[in-house]
Amino acid sequence: MNVRIISANLVVKLLSFYREKTTMFFTFAFPIILILVFGTIFMSQDSMEYRLSVQDLDQTNSSAESIKTLAKKGKFKITSVDPAVDAVQYVRDSKVNLLLVVPRGYAASLMQRIIFNDYSSSVTITYVYDPSSSSVQTKMQILNAALAGINQGMSGRAPFIRSAEKSILTKKYRFIEFFVPGIIAMSIMTMSLFGTVDSDTELRQKGVIRKLSTTPITRTDWILSNVLYQFILAVISTLAMLLVSYAVFDVNLHIDAWLPVFILLDVFAFVGTGMILTRFVKEAQSAAAASNAISYPMMFLAGSFFPIELMPGLLQTIAKKLPLYYVNEGLRASMVFEDNMAALRSAAIIGVYAAVVFILGIMATKWEENQ
Amino acid sequence: MTRETEYAIEVDRLTKRYGDFPAVNDISFSVSKGEVFAFLGPNGAGKTSTVEIIETIRMPTSGKVTLLGMDVTKKKHEIVHRIGVLPQAFSSFDRITVRETLQYYSRLFSVKTDLDGLIELVNLGDKTKEQYKNLSGGLKQRLGIAIALVNDPEVVFLDEPTTGLDPLARHEVWEVLLGLKKKGKTVFLTTHYMEEAELLADTVAIISKGKIIAMGSPGELIEDNANYLALTLRSVDEKVLEIVQKLGFGTVPDKHKNIRIRVEQTYDVQKILQAIKDAGARYRSLDVRRPNLEEVFLKLTGEALREELPEMEAE
Ligand SMILES: Nc1ncnc2c1ncn2[C@@H]1O[C@H](COP(=O)(O)OP(=O)(O)OP(=O)(O)O)[C@@H](O)[C@H]1O
Ligand SMILES: [Mg+2]
């Protein structure tokens, strides 16, 4: 190992990358675009405030007051609908999936109950809804709970059974906070894999490697400078992704020493995979195809974009055999759930994978054409 | 263990097989220190196979190759510091400039290189900030030669340094190589251009199908193998061929109405021209020249060095 040679190599690699402006742009911009697009799509789902349309047929102070209470308890944002329109027609025509109808005589019935203690007095609030909408059920559940709460309050007696919520996750997270670590893991994988396979096959094809084999540079120097180069790109890219995520989505991600650890393991694992691939592909074109064949299934199966729990059992079993899955798990354990033990477990698994693949990669890398 | 010898390179009964195919077949030769040695041969003759074995990047099948007193199969790490290589079809990093490329290779050897002197030697002074991919073929080759010299090597290997270049670019590379020759470097050159070998080499080895078929200085080779004159008559009419054949000379006509005549001495030329004049036959032009390595090669192998005929090349 020769530090001067490694740094000379690193300089050439970084300069080449920097001067290839389109490649540089896409390398860094692509994951950021993914974050912006998906972050925006799922932003509405993250904000827990639902819109609720209400048609108040009673038009009294007390009906208005009750609607306000309901809005507060269920965290709804209320849209009032003109009492003159037909409720069913309204839901059908507008994009609204649920309309709450407060009946005429609401105030009168309420008075009957509270002032005259007439416990048989009641009102019926109607949900006019579109069952084809996916979020309407959740909305109705929240409404039911809010209404039950109001009823309970009116009875004046303390409830016997109360409930408390306790999430198994140490904290609530938003989709974007789940998504960003996945994209970090994925883009480091693609950068390291494609970077290694592309540049190695290109330089081999052009005969640069043959020239280098008549100089004092060794295979080890060459491989180490590539790892270092990929690590630097990975760090820059990760910082850019995090910066955008903080600035645009105000994410709440925990950053500690695990982040560089997982970046490094991700780099080693996929530079190693790339070196093994390089051994088997001779031309630049098949090199790209081979890298794609490895990275695409990995991206979709290993839970880069969504939790693997959403997939059928068989696919989950496969996912757990993929190295990228453990980078995802590890990054999320450290950045989202702040669970050091889980991060350590994932780091151990991906670490073993990286070591094995990297050693195989070194063995697979032919330097001299000693044939 | 370095043995001091007068030879830079000694090759003893070298054979290189790919599978069963003997690309290099039991060849022996030696290259003295300070000489320019050329391997002249057509495509597939085994030039690159031989050179790359001496450069330590291919393994011989059998035989012994010694470079500067060291066995090439055992002393790779020492040897690479003392040789400079321009591989066949040389290429470098597209986006790196001429000066940066030289700096890079200089760092690989961990040596201080007089970059400016080197740039001047290959005449790339006004291209130092140009990226490799923007250089023309000739400039790329000259950069490649400069790279081969960054470590001030004792032996320089140039594998087909001018193949694929236009005549002007080729002459510019030759200028550089003549400069190198003047500096007294040991140079191992491979080529399939006989002009190149004739112009640059002290010793030429003609290689064909993995065998060295003749070796010596260009003058010796011609003397030994083609001691005659070649008279070419262009655009002749039908009678000329008949007249010349009647005089008893060997003739080679071609489809462009040119005939080539082999004559032993200048007097024969006069005799032929006189006979043509007397018969009232015609030709457009003529030339007489000493044969070159091209003819030597033709004679020794029965094959042309390249596809084109030498006359076509001269025109
Ligand atoms: N790695 C290899 N595997 C199999 N055959 C090879 C290999 N390298 C060269 N050959 C064959 O060996 C023969 C000699 O090749 P070599 O490259 O040494 O010739 P050359 O004289 O350098 O030719 P050229 O002028 O085309 O460069 C050719 O027939 C070639 O096809
Ligand atoms: Mg060759």
Per cent of chain A over pLDDT 70 is 94
With a 6 A CB cut-off, is B88 part of the ligand 1 pocket? yes
Residues of A in contact with B96 (CB under 8 A): 12, 15-16
pLDDT tens for B7-28 read 999 999 999 999 999 999 999 9
Whether A162 is in a domain gets the answer no
Average pLDDT score over chain B: 89
Q: A134 vs A196, which has greater pLDDT?
A: A196
Dist. CA A24–CA B300, nearest whole Å: 57
Does the beta-carbon distance from B100 to A12 stay under 8 Å? yes
Q: Cα–chain-centroid distance for residue B260?
A: 25
Please check whether residues A217 and A190 belong to one and the same domain: yes
A267 or A157, greater pLDDT = A267
Ligand 1 site, residue B49, Cβ cutoff 6 A: yes
**Token pair listed for B3:** 């043995």
Please determine, for residue A170, whether its predicted confidence score (pLDDT) is greater than 70.
no
CATH number at residue A60: 3.40.1710.10
Mean pLDDT of chain A: 87
Residue A164 counted as domain residue: no
pLDDT tens by residue, A84-109: 999 888 888 887 888 999 999 888 88
Residue A15 is predicted with a pLDDT of 96
pLDDT category at A328 given cuts 50, 70, 90 is very high
Ligand 1 centre from A124 Cα, in Å? 93
Asked if residue B37 has pLDDT above 60, the reply is: yes
Q: Is the pLDDT of residue B307 over 70?
A: no
In the structure encoding, which two tokens stand for residue B251, read together?
């003739």
Residues A84 and A134 in one domain: yes
CA of B13 to the centre of ligand 1 (A): 18
Mean per-residue pLDDT, A49-59: 85
Range A268-289 average pLDDT: 86
Structure tokens at B270: 């006069």
Asked if residue A199 and residue A136 are part of one domain, the reply reads no
Query: What are the domain boundaries of chain B?
Result: 7-82+154-223, 229-289
pLDDT > 80? residue B291: no
Compare CB distances from B90 to A207, A217, A368 and report the shortest one's residue. A207
Query: How confident is the model at residue B254, as a pLDDT?
Result: 78
Measured distance CA(A153)–CA(B2) in Å, rounded: 101
Nearest by CB to residue A210, choosing from B18, B77, B87, is: B87
- Selected residue of B56, B76, B83, B91 to mutate for chain A interface (largest A Cβ count, 10 A): B91
Long-range contacts from B237-244, C-beta under 8 angstroms, 24+ separation? B237/B281, B237/B282, B237/B283, B239/B279, B239/B281, B240/B276, B240/B281, B240/B282, B240/B283, B243/B272, B243/B275, B243/B276, B243/B279, B243/B281, B244/B272, B244/B275, B244/B276
Choose from A125-134, A142-151, B25-34 the range with maximum mean pLDDT: B25-34
Last residue of a domain, one of A124, A155, A186: A155
pLDDT at B143 over 50: yes
Q: Percentage of chain A with pLDDT > 90?
A: 43
Instruction: Kindly state whether A315 is in contact with chain B, defined as any CB-CB distance less than 8 angstroms.
Output: no
Higher pLDDT, residue A88 or B256: A88
Q: How confident is the model at residue A371 (pLDDT cuts 50, 70, 90)?
A: very low
Give which of B234, B209, B205 is closest to B293, Cα–Cα.
B205
Tell me, what DSSP letter sits at residue A49? P
For position B311, what pLDDT does the model report?
A: 43
CA–CA separation, A177 and B7 (whole Å):
71
pLDDT in tens, B213-229: 999 998 888 888 777 78
Kindly identify the ligand whose nearest atom is closest to the C-alpha of B45: 1
In a domain, A245, yes or no: yes
Q: Which residues of B touch A11 (CB under 8 A)?
A: 104
Q: Is the pLDDT of residue A46 over 60?
A: no
Q: Which CATH topology does B229-289 take?
A: Alpha-Beta Plaits (3.30.70)
Q: Are residues A195 and A312 in the same domain?
A: yes
Residue B314 has pLDDT above 60, yes or no: no
Tell me how far apart the alpha carbons of residues A20 and A18 are, in angstroms, rounded to a whole number: 6
| Ligand number, closest to the Cα atom of B47 | 1
ipTM: 0.82
In a domain, A183, yes or no: yes
Selected for mutation to probe chain B from A12, A23, A369 (highest B CB count within 10 Å) is: A12
- CB of B44 sitting under 6 A from ligand 1: yes
Query: Is A163 within the bounds of a domain?
Result: no
Are residue A247 and residue A352 in the same domain, yes or no?
yes
Helix B137-148 vs helix B98-108: angle between axes, to the nearest 10 degrees?
Answer: 30
- Homologous superfamily of the B7-82+154-223 domain (CATH): P-loop containing nucleotide triphosphate hydrolases (3.40.50.300)
The verdict on the CB of residue B23 being under 6 Å from ligand 1 is: yes
Q: Is the dihedral of CA B266, B267, B271, B277 positive or negative?
A: positive
**What residues of A are in contact with residue B88 (Cβ under 8 Å)?**
207
Option in A4, A210, A214 nearest B107 (CB): A4
**Closest listed residue to residue A362, CA positions, set A351, A352, A370, A354:** A354
pLDDT score, position A264:
97
Give the lowest-confidence range in A271-280, B59-68, B147-156: A271-280
Residue A248 placed within a domain: yes
Separation of CA B44 and ligand 1 centre (Å): 5
pLDDT reported for residue A357: 94
In a domain, residue A255? The reply is yes
From the CB of B75, is ligand 1 less than 6 Å away?
Answer: no
Could you tell me if A325 and A188 lie in one domain? yes
Mean pLDDT of A165-175: 63
Residues B152-171: tens digit of each pLDDT? 999 999 999 999 898 999 99
Task: Using the mean position of ligand 1's atoms as its centre, give its distance from the Cα of residue B23 in Å.
Answer: 7
Assign B62 a pLDDT band (cuts: 50, 70, 90).
Answer: very high
Please give the distance, rounded to the nearest whole angstrom, from the Cα atom of residue B204 to the centre of ligand 1.
Answer: 20
Could you tell me if A119 and A205 lie in one domain?
A: no
Residue-level pLDDT at B2 = 53
Owning domain of residue A317: 3-43+174-364
User: Which range, A215-219, A282-286, B35-39, is most confident?
Assistant: B35-39
A18 and A68, same domain (yes or no): no
Is 80 exceeded by the pLDDT of residue A224?
A: yes
Q: Is pLDDT of A283 > 80?
A: no
Structure tokens at B10: 């000694």
Number of domains in chain A: 2
- Chain A residues in contact with B95 (beta carbon < 8 A): 15-16, 19-20
A150 and A194 inside one domain: no
Write the residue with the smallest CA distance to atom 25 of ligand 1. Answer: B43
Mapping DSSP onto H, E and C, the string for chain B reads CCCCCCEEEEEEEEEEEECCEEEEEEEEEEEECCCEEEEECCCCCCHHHHHHHHCCCCCCCEEEEEECCEECCCCHHHHHHHEEEECCCCCCCCCCEHHHHHHHHHHHCCCCCCHHHHHHHCCCHHHCCCEHHHCCHHHHHHHHHHHHCCCCCCEEEEECCCCCCCHHHHHHHHHHHHHHHHCCCEEEEEECCHHHHHHHCCEEEEEECCEEEEEECHHHHHHHHCCCEEEEEECCCHHHHHHHHHCCCCEEECCCCCEEEEECCHHHHHHHHHHHHHHCCCCCEEEEECCCHHHHHHHHHCCCCCCCCHHHHHC
Q: What is the mean pLDDT of residues A296-311?
A: 87
| Residue A305 CA to its chain's centroid (Å) | 5
